[in-house]
Amino acid sequence: MIRKAKVRDVLTVQSLINQYAQQNLMLGRSLSELYENIRDFWVFVDPENHKVVGCCALHVCWKKLAEIKSLAVAPKFSSKGIGSALVLKSMDEAKSLGIKDIFVLTFVPKFFRRFGFRQINKNRLPHKIWVECCNCPKFPDCNEIALIKKI
Ligand SMILES: CC(C)(COP(=O)(O)OP(=O)(O)OC[C@H]1O[C@@H](n2cnc3c(N)ncnc32)[C@H](O)[C@@H]1OP(=O)(O)O)[C@@H](O)C(=O)NCCC(=O)NCCS
């Protein structure tokens, strides 16, 4: 039920993410960003109709450091373990890539604490991640919380 995303999934992935972005629950993603980074994405497919109902990206940022991004599950499918399964899949992938630390910038820190993520000061993350922040409409008044986990 979890597989790597394909280019044909991009529109569905964008609508999953952007419905929450419109409610300020996560950052929106442009089609260009999604096509360029589609190989980062895992998707969860509803076994009944093969529709994509969840997504999560693992983005390698630096030596031994990766970020979990764009985690979203369709509201109809929430609390069925799909979000957790996508996070665990991304963590497995990170491990197999040789990543040692995985971080997330999120408005739902409680969800990530379940997996052993702990809060850190954003300033401790590499400067490279600020490039994306600088291009974000919320910069510099962003209240996303940074959490990190050793894997
Ligand atoms: C957060 C999200 C990915 C969880 O997906 P999910 O498939 O419902 O999660 P799971 O079923 O694996 O886990 C559900 C558990 O997470 C908790 N949870 C779900 N959403 C939560 C939230 N916003 N804040 C804190 N905990 C949350 C639930 O209470 C539930 O706990 P329980 O098992 O003790 O009842 C989903 O609600 C979502 O897409 N939210 C909007 C987008 C978002 O905030 N994404 C994260 C940005 S990085």
Angle at 25 between CA 151 and CA 6, to 5 degrees: 65
Mean pLDDT over 134-145 rounds to 72
The DSSP H or E segment spanning 95 is helix 82-97
Q: How many domains does the chain have?
A: 1
C-beta 103 within 6 A of ligand 1: no
Mode of pairing for the β-strands spanning 52-62 and 2-4? unpaired
C-beta 90 within 6 A of ligand 1: no
pTM for the model stands at 0.93
Nearest CA to ligand 1 atom 28: 79
DSSP string, 20-71: HHTTTSS----HHHHHHTGGGEEEEE-TTT--EEEEEEEEEEETTEEEEEEE
Helix (H, G, I), strand (E, B) or coil at 72: strand
pLDDT at 143: 79
For residue range 21-38, list pLDDT tens digits in order.
999 889 899 999 999 999
Provide the CATH number for the domain around residue 46. Answer: 3.40.630.30
For residue range 45-80, list pLDDT tens digits in order.
999 999 999 999 999 998 899 999 999 999 999 999
Q: How far apart are CA 108 and CA 126, in angstroms?
A: 22
Determine the structural domain holding residue 35 and report its residue range: 2-150
